Amino acid sequence: MRLEGKVALITGGASGIGRATVLKFIREGAKVVIADMNLSQAEDVVAEVDALGFEGAAAAVQTDVSVYADVAAAVARAVEIFGKLDVIFNNAGIAGGKPLLDHDPEVDYAPLIRIDQDGVYYGILAAGRQFRDQGTPGVIISTSSIYGEQAAELSFTYSAAKAAVISFTRSAAYELAEYGIRAVAITPGRVATPIINQFNDELKATFASEQLRGAMTHPDEIANVVAFLASDEASVINGTVVHVDDGYSVFKKRLDLPVF
Sheet holding 7-11, edge to edge: 58-62, 31-36, 7-11, 87-90, 138-143, 181-188, 240-244
Catalytic residue chosen out of the listed positions 158, 174, 179, 248: 158
Residues in a beta bridge with 62: 36
| Catalytic residue check, 158 | yes
162 and 116 Cβ atoms separated by less than 8 Å:
yes
- Taking the CA atoms of the chain, what radius of gyration do you get in angstroms? 18
With a CB cutoff of 8 Å and minimum separation 6, the contacts of 57 are 26, 30, 31, 32, 49
Burial class (CB in 10 A: 0-12, 13-18, 19+), 254: exposed
Give the Cα separation of 223 and 252 in Å (integer). Answer: 26
| Catalytic sites, residue numbers | 158
